[in-house]
Chains A and B, each alone.
Chain A
């Protein structure tokens, strides 16, 4: 049994997890809780590279019931993400990120290894503040003001999707749809504590489809459902003797997508929900120009923690450098 088509579809399921669930929770001070492509205030640019390994551990069905994968299954995805952020003005910054994806799957004894470019993302952020909002002591109400970021992210379908010509390779690495997200990020640091709240609402753009898994089909119009993401985190920073910092962060995220549309009719098959916890350790240099970060995201393999989505654990390592 080749199972090649199944593996392609599984790869599609895996790329659902590519979105930056907690990737852009930032600190305006730099070197804080986490962060990929939201750079600190007063910096000119930032380069970030990360490697993530995602292991699949069963799935939640459409009723939210947890189901294990078949025996002898071992489903993994590895991602290398390269990002660059550039300041455009004192309150504006832009970023671009591009992942490369490797899928390594064994399912019922079948082996498959595929790779390809993932979906790219282009983001713009507006900083609704002029001064750094990190404080050591609360002296007045103004010290409680968080750093507020307003952003927009465009996901560009540069990955290999089910609608491409994928007849010979296990190469699905993207969803095949443009998506525009509106983002709100609140970040507050009162040393040594830090808290963030990130909210995102995304709309996929409708597209034509005339091919599925290499086979041409009767053309139709398709749009995935609106995407909602909420993430909250709390962190604690230790100052080392060298004045480098070590920040421990715990985060909770809630991600869901509504039913899609096919030729204007509801398509519940893509409706999903995923809740996950993440723990992050970030080591930042004294000047906060270099940040090394390790993170573990864990989804609960129990009933009710998700719907119509794989249960995964993600281990990631990221290094970022800020250019002043």
Chain B
């Protein structure tokens, strides 16, 4: 009995100590470790000037970032793969955020489907035909903004990235849009 306990304890210790990243959750840090962004640099991080891009939506209509920004306060990109959390975010976005900012261009970005047709099918199956969905079939936007599912990017009318992080409860997005010049 005693031996069994010892071996189990030893096994657990080895498992725990052998796993990287473990302490990140056992003792989480609240330190701000975001890398500094050089003023005027180009890229997808907050504070950088976003490069232009042109990408087709699910109806094969091309959209260019800086063309969309013409006459708009900002462009919002929400990265979706049509899963439960995505749906929760998208539904919240549609219901509570979009109506408050009529002069902002909102796009869903489908970065998992590998064709425009598949992306359109997913859009329709999930009930988001009222959104413009960009089909990121070659991962250009995913790479540019280092995006994950739920990543929400706000680019203001001058092309500066104002937000690039998970949608969470939508508060950060709303605050960002409210603070636009």
Contacts and interface: CB of A to CB of B under 8 A. Distances in A.
Interface of A: 1-3, 5-6, 8-10, 13, 44-45, 47, 59-63, 67-68, 70-71, 82, 84, 86, 96, 98, 107-110, 116-117, 120, 156-161, 163-166, 174, 176-177, 207-213, 215-219, 221, 260, 262-263, 265-272, 308-310, 323
A156 B167 CA distance: 26
Given A9-B85, A107-B81, A216-B35, 4 more contacts: A2-B142, A6-B149, A9-B150, A210-B32
Given A5-B148, A67-B125, A210-B31, A174 B19 contact: no
A98 B12 contact: yes
Interface in B1-59: 1, 4-5, 8, 11-12, 15-16, 19-22, 24-26, 28-35
A52 B158 CA distance: 52
- 7 interchain residue pairs of minimum CB distance: A208-B30, A5-B148, A157-B25, A164-B21, A267-B169, A9-B149, A216-B33
Contacts of A68: 125
Nearest to B169: A267
Interface in B58-87: 81-85, 87
B30 to A, nearest CB: 3
B97 to A, nearest CB: 13
Interface in B124-180: 125-126, 136-139, 142, 146-150, 165-169, 171
Interface residues of B, number: 58
Nearest to A263: B171
A70 B30 contact: no
Given A67-B126, A216-B34, A309 B118 contact: no
Contacts of A70: 82, 113, 118, 121-122
B108 to A, nearest CB: 14
9 contacts: A61-B88, A67-B126, A70-B121, A98-B15, A107-B112, A161-B25, A165-B24, A208-B28, A270-B85
The B interface is mostly helix, strand or loop, or mixed, namely: loop
A210 B111 contact: no
A61 B169 contact: no
Contacts of B20: 165
B91 interface: yes
B100 interface: no
A216 B45 CA distance: 11
A47 B25 CA distance: 27
Interface of B: 1, 4-5, 8, 11-12, 15-16, 19-22, 24-26, 28-35, 81-85, 87-89, 91-92, 111-114, 118, 121-122, 125-126, 136-139, 142, 146-150, 165-169, 171
A322 B125 CA distance: 50
Nearest to B85: A269
B26 A156 contact: yes
B1 A269 contact: no
B30 A108 contact: no
Given A60-B84, A166-B21, A5 B89 contact: no
Contacts of B16: 117, 158
From B4, B21, B25, B165, residue with most partner A Cβ within 10 Å = B25
Contact of B148 (A59, A158, A213): A213
Contacts of A165: 20-21, 24
Given A9-B81, A13-B83, A219-B31, A212 B148 contact: yes
A59 B84 contact: yes
